[in-house]
């Protein structure tokens, strides 16, 4: 059986490795965006650990994140586990299912730990505007931090786009399995038990692809210095373009501040104003407003239906194709609502 051979190989590697032979305890943090299968993946890992006779505890924060919001799961396993929460600096592994969401949890990584972070990027519209500073709040082209292994999940899956989405994230599990060193057949069994039945085949394949990709990478990485290998894995940067991209980011921040210059708006109440004669009722502002401030009236024109909810983020104005939206600042003598607004924004992240 192919799986037996693979398993045997892993065990050999594990026995021959320095710290790899049958990891018996560990801490994991999984982060991503709702809908990516983070909970499923943590279930799969738990299943593997339980099958290996280990005690597992996991927790997750998902709440209203089913589509697009942040999801995080903590998972601890060992002979006996008491607390479910991983302390900062204590995670052996981090699985990031989305680039920024993976980097977000790096503080949990133990020195020497490995963070497998997918290069998939899902930039929410709201990331365009840090609601306070007017900066772009997404690490577009930042350096790959120490300990992070960028994983181009979609490329590693290497199939048609329609099939990719169902199984791309399992690539991360494949890579993780190399580090954890538990028998590969347990992983297969766990995947079969936890993913939707229709996607078992695709997920098993993705798992194997991820596993062999990481084994190959590990083998090659010893010959190279760690940081330089990143440029190959993180594909939108050539060695040459790297400098340009990172220096670009610096400019990006400064010019966006100049453009937006909204740091002063905390001194007043933001108000949406719509030039009705220009609006063509395309519905974009209604769709993008995070606070549901806007709606379309009976004349197919956007109106401000919930003015008090406006945080002045500016998304509607920036994305209005008709240039029909302005955000004005009403400077009020009473700064009480402003303070509550500031508080609200402070809680935002």
CB under 8 A: which stretch of 5-13, 19-27, 203-211, 328-336 binds other proteins?
Answer: 328-336
Q: In 3D, which of 158, 148, 92, 83 has the Cα closest to residue 117? A: 148
41: three-class secondary structure by DSSP: helix
Sketch the per residue contact string, 233 through 252, with other proteins: x for CB under 8 A, - otherwise.
--xx----x--xx--x--xx
Which residues inside 274-303 make contact with other proteins, applying CB under 8 A?
Answer: 277-284, 286-288
Q: How far is the CB of 181 from other proteins (least distance, A)?
A: 30
Q: How far is the CB of 336 from other proteins (least distance, A)?
A: 7
Q: Which of 43, 46, 119, 209 binds other proteins (CB under 8 A)?
A: 119
Spatial distance between the Cα atoms of 87 and 212, rounded to a whole number of angstroms? 31
Q: Does 333 bind other proteins (CB under 8 A)?
A: yes
Q: In 3D, which of 105, 175, 178 has the Cα closest to residue 145? A: 105
Strand 269-274 to 325-330 pairing: antiparallel
CB under 8 A: which stretch of 9-17, 78-86, 173-181, 333-341 binds other proteins?
Answer: 333-341
Q: In 3D, which of 246, 223, 231, 212 has the Cα closest to residue 149? A: 231
Q: Does 312 bind other proteins (CB under 8 A)?
A: yes
Q: Does 261 bind other proteins (CB under 8 A)?
A: yes
186: three-class secondary structure by DSSP: helix
Q: How far is the CB of 140 from other proteins (least distance, A)?
A: 6
Burial code (b: 16+ CB inside 10 Å, e: under 16) for 189-217 equals bbbeebbeeebbebbbbbbbbbbebbbeb
* Cβ distance to other proteins smaller for residue 150 or 174: 150
Q: Which of 1, 80, 112, 336 binds other proteins (CB under 8 A)?
A: 336
Q: In 3D, which of 92, 44, 42 has the Cα closest to residue 62? A: 42
Helix axes 170-180, 184-194, angle to 10 degrees: 150
Q: How far is the CB of 65 from other proteins (least distance, A)?
A: 16
What are the Cα distances from residue 278, in Å, to 77, 254, 286, 293, 337? Answer: 59, 31, 16, 19, 31
Q: Does 45 bind other proteins (CB under 8 A)?
A: no
Residues 187 and 207: beta-carbon distance below 8 Å: yes
Q: Does 262 bind other proteins (CB under 8 A)?
A: yes
Spatial distance between the Cα atoms of 305 and 303, rounded to a whole number of angstroms? 6
Sketch the per residue contact string, 207 through 236, with other proteins: x for CB under 8 A, - otherwise.
----------------------------xx
Q: Does 206 bind other proteins (CB under 8 A)?
A: no
Q: Which residues here bind other proteins, judged by CB under 8 A?
A: 119-125, 128-129, 136, 140-141, 152, 154-155, 160-161, 164, 235-236, 241, 244-245, 248, 251-252, 255-256, 258-262, 265, 268, 270, 273, 277-284, 286-288, 312, 314, 317-334, 336-337
């Amino acid at each position: 059986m192919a799986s037996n051979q693979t398993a045997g190989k892993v065990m050999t590697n594990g026995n021959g490795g320095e710290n790899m032979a049958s990891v018996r305890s560990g801490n994991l943090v999984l982060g991503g965006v709702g809908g990516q299968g983070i909970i499923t993946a943590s279930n799969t890992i738990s299943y593997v650990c339980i099958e290996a006779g280990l005690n597992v505890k996991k927790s997750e924060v998902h709440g209203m994140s089913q589509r697009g919001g942040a999801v995080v799961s903590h998972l601890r396993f060992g002979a006996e586990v008491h607390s479910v929460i991983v302390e900062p600096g204590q995670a052996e592994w981090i699985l990031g299912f989305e680039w920024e969401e993976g980097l977000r949890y790096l503080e949990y990584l133990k020195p020497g730990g490995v963070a497998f972070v997918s290069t998939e990027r899902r930039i929410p519209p709201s990331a365009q505007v840090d609601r306070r500073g007017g900066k772009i709040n997404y690490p577009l082209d930042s350096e790959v931090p120490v300990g992070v292994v960028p994983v181009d999940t979609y490329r590693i899956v290497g199939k048609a786009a329609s099939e990719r989405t169902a199984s791309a994230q399992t690539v991360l599990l494949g890579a993780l399995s190399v580090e954890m060193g538990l028998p590969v057949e347990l992983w297969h069994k766990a995947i079969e038990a936890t993913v939707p039945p229709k996607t078992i085949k695709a997920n098993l394949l993705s798992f194997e692809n991820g596993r062999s990709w990481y084994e190959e990478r590990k083998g090659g990485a010893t010959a190279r210095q760690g940081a330089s290998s990143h440029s190959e894995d993180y594909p939108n940067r050539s060695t040459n373009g790297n400098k340009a991209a990172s220096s670009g980011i610096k400019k990006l921040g400064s010019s966006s501040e100049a453009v937006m210059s909204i740091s002063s708006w905390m001194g007043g109440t933001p108000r949406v104003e719509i030039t009705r004669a220009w609006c063509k009722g395309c519905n974009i502002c209604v769709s993008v407003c995070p606070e549901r401030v806007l709606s379309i009236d009976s004349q197919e024109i956007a109106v401000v239906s919930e003015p008090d909810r406006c945080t002045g983020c500016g998304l509607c104005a920036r994305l209005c194709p008709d240039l029909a939206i302005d955000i004005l600042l009403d400077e009020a003598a009473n700064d009480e609502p402003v303070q509550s607004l500031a508080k609200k924004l402070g809680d935002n992240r």
